[in-house]
Amino acid sequence: MTPNALAAPAAVTLAERIARTVRQDVQSMHAYAVQPSAGLVKLDAMENPFRLPPELQRALGERLGAVAINRYPGARGADLIAALARHVQLPAGCKLMLGNGSDELIDLLSVACDMPGATVLAPLPGFVMYEMSAKLRGLRFVGVPLTADFQLDEAAMLDAIATHRPALTYLAYPNNPTANLWDDAVLERLVAAVGAQHGLVVFDEAYQPFASRTWLPRLAQPGHEHVLVLRTLSKFGLAGVRLGYLCGAAALIDEIDKVRPPYNVGVLNAEAALFALEHADEYARQAALLRAERERLQAALRAMPGVQPFPSEANMILVRVPDSKRAFEGMKARGVLVKHIAGLHPLLAHCLRLTVGTPEENKRMIDALAASLAANTATDATENVR
C-alpha cells in the first residue's frame, strides 16, 4: 500500500460542494420571498381576510378529527373532484385534476410539456411562477411586455407566438399583479393563433371569485380543445389548505395527470375543501363583501392626490404613487403591510399592490397610505426650502 493511499481526502468546504452539485442557474436565482408580517395588518398576499363563523369552525374541526390520517388519501380525492365539477359546472367532455395549490399544477404542466426546445410564453408583468417553473424544468421562457396601461400588446403577442411556437401560453384572467381582465376579442385571436401552432393555452383564473367573467364555459366550444383553465381555492378562502385544480378536455387532462405525484393532495386538505364547498354560500357572501370593499377602496384611492389606482377584477388593487418605496416603508411603519412591486418590471415603476381586506383593515390601509404620502410631501417641502 502506498503512502498516498492512506492519505486523508482533501477537505471540501460546503461552498465548494454546493458549487459542484447545485445547478448554476439555481445558485443565481432568488428564492420566492414571503414578507414577515407579525404584528402588522397583512394586506400583501391577496388572502381572503375572513375566517369561518365559530359554529362552522367547530364543525370543521370535528370533521377533520374523524379523518383517517393513518391511511394514504383514497376515495375522498375522487369525491372532491366530483364536488368541484358540480360546483364550477364543468362543461361536458371535460375533466379536472387536483394539485397541491395551483403552483404544483403549473409545475406539472412544465413537466408534461418538456419536449426538446419547448417554450413557455406569458405577458409581463405576470405571475412569477410561470417563468420560474419553466426555467427549473428546462423550458425556455419568453415574456411579452404589456402596454403602458397593462393591456395585451396583441401584435407583439401574435409575433411571439408565430416566432417561438410556444408549447404553453399563460393568460392570467384577471392578471396578477395588474388585477385587470383583458379584451375577450384579443384573447380569442391569441387562442386561435396558439392552436394553429399546436400549443396549449392556460387561462389562470386564480381570482375568479372576484371577476365578472370566466373562460371556463368556453372549454366545450369548437376550437378550444387546446385550452385549459387553472384555478385555486386560495382566493376562495382556503389559502392555508393548498388546493388547486386544472380543467380541460378529458383526453388532455388524462395525459397531464400522468405526471402528477400519487397522493399529492392530503386527506385533510381534501376534507377541508369538501367542507368548504358544502358551505359555498358563506364563501360567496365573503366574496361579495370583498367586491364591495374593493369599489369603496377604489373611490377612496381616486380621491387621494398623487395616487393612480388601476381597474381591478381581483381582490387586489394596483396603485401608482409618487415614491413607492417611501410609501411602502411609511405604511409599514404605521402597521400596515402591502406589496412593493416596483422592482418586478419597468412597467410597474412606483407601484404598490394592495390586498382588499376587511372594512376595518381597509380603513387602516387608506389612513396609513394617506399619512405616509403626507409625511413624504412635508419632508420634500422642507428639503426644498433648505
pLDDT digits (tens, 9 = 90+) for 167-225: 999 999 999 999 999 999 999 999 999 999 999 999 999 999 999 999 999 999 999 99
- Nearest CA to 232 out of 119, 308, 129, 338 is that of 129
The whole-angstrom separation of Cα 341 and Cα 325 is 9
- Nearest CA to 168 out of 207, 130, 129, 124 is that of 130
Q: Do 127 and 223 reside in the same domain of the chain? A: yes
The tens digit of pLDDT for each residue in 3-37 reads 555 666 678 899 989 999 999 888 888 877 788 88
The pLDDT, as a whole number, for residue 316 is 98
Which CATH number covers residue 337? 3.90.1150.10
Count CB neighbours of 239 within 10 A: 16
Q: Do 77 and 118 reside in the same domain of the chain? A: yes
The whole-angstrom separation of Cα 241 and Cα 145 is 33
133 burial class (0-12, 13-18, 19+ CB within 10 angstroms)?
buried
Task: Look at residue 70 and tell me whether its pLDDT is greater than 60.
Answer: yes
**Side-chain-side CA neighbours of residue 344 (13 Å):** 22
Task: Look at residue 105 and tell me whether its pLDDT is greater than 70.
Answer: yes
Q: Do 192 and 286 reside in the same domain of the chain? A: no
Mean pLDDT taken over the chain: 94
Q: Do 233 and 297 reside in the same domain of the chain? A: no
Q: Do 114 and 34 reside in the same domain of the chain? A: no
Look at residue 375 and tell me if it is in a domain: yes
Look at residue 36 and tell me if it is in a domain: yes
Q: Which of 256, 278, 300 is the last residue of a domain?
A: 278
The pLDDT, as a whole number, for residue 282 is 96
Look at residue 329 and tell me if it is in a domain: yes
Backbone φ and ψ of 229, nearest 5°: -120, 125
Look at residue 64 and tell me if it is in a domain: yes
The tens digit of pLDDT for each residue in 239-292 reads 999 999 999 999 999 999 999 999 999 999 999 999 999 999 999 999 999 999
Q: Do 271 and 371 reside in the same domain of the chain? A: no
Strands (E), 146-276: 168-172, 200-204, 227-232, 244-249
The pLDDT, as a whole number, for residue 329 is 97
The tens digit of pLDDT for each residue in 320-379 reads 999 999 999 999 999 999 999 999 999 999 999 999 999 999 999 999 999 999 998 766
Residue span of the structural domain in which 139 resides: 54-278
The pLDDT, as a whole number, for residue 6 is 60
Give me the number of domains the chain comprises: 2
Q: Do 311 and 171 reside in the same domain of the chain? A: no
Q: 35-44, 122-131, 302-311, 324-333: which range is least confident on average?
A: 35-44
Look at residue 78 and tell me if it is in a domain: yes
The pLDDT, as a whole number, for residue 299 is 97
Element (H, E) at 318: strand 316-320
The pLDDT, as a whole number, for residue 194 is 98
Q: Do 229 and 135 reside in the same domain of the chain? A: yes
Look at residue 11 and tell me if it is in a domain: no
